[in-house]
Amino acid sequence: MTSTSPAYGELRAQLNTLTTEAFRPELADIDRLPTLEIARIMNGEDRTVPGAVAGQLPRIAAAIDATAERMARGGRLIYAGAGTAGRLGVLDASECPPTFNTDPSEVLGLIAGGPSAMVEAVEGAEDSEELADTDLDALALSADDTVVGISASGRTPYAVGAVRHARALGALTVGLSCNADSALAAAAEHGIEVVVGPELLSGSTRLKAGTAQKLVLNMISTVTMIRLGKTYGNLMVDVRASNDKLRARSRRIVSFATGATDEEIETALAATDGEVKNAILTILTGVDAPTATRLLAESGGHLRAALRSAG
């Protein structure tokens, strides 16, 4: 696309309407300021982000409840975005297996251009709705799946295309952007628009917009997992102990939940193959490991429900 093409002119016109792309003349001399002053300005900008997220909490909560309902039936949570937005989705998805013991297929991140786009730009990938269609079709979407399109501008064709295609296939759709009245929110069943205002550096939406998206994705995955019984109170009882730090954390979690001695904790974890939730159930109720496994299966993995059943 050349700088004189009609499409280029149309795109420039679109960008001129976006809050995230606005130029801030009051910061035109920021490069002449002392480093500490620049850092203070940037920190002040970042402090505005949680307030912008707070304004969207009812919409975020509604999207989470709808997502959790579908995941409880076996559905998946799928993020789709380009550039920074896509990378944030991949990051959030990749944290779910070690944190909540999810299968890697349960929470997925799609980035325009594929895995190589995590570290380098893939020319034209974000401009293709068809690429989003292809990526989603490879996953064989069902009505129990949730697709979250992520785009700071709210106009990225890959993200908008992913939401449109997913909705046409009957999946739940969420559109997360940082501009009001976005095409992405309009295309989704649940539109979330966290308007953080113009960036410190004009057009660098990896800053406040990226921070806002990260906060919302943290909420979507974390609160969904809480709703699915992946926690007991505020304890990560589905943690996967895949290294020494996580093994130590598992023992601390069992201790917080039960108050048991180190010897009791080691015995319970050994009997339950290191499953924290199962170990807690055996300690608090006195049931054996196979019974704990059965009770948790019958309760859909919810430890509180299993404790009630055992009592």
Q: Which residues are catalytic?
A: 95, 126
Distance CA 229, CA 305 (A): 9
- What's the chain's length in residues? 311
Residue 125's SS3 state is helix
208 secondary structure, DSSP code: H
Contacts of 220 (CB under 8 A, 6+ apart): 60, 63, 64, 67, 77, 92, 148, 174
Distance CA 213, CA 69 (A): 22
Beta strands in the chain, from DSSP E residues, in sequence order: 77-81, 107-111, 146-150, 172-177, 190-193
Distance CA 160, CA 151 (A): 8
Tokens standing for residue 203: 């057009």
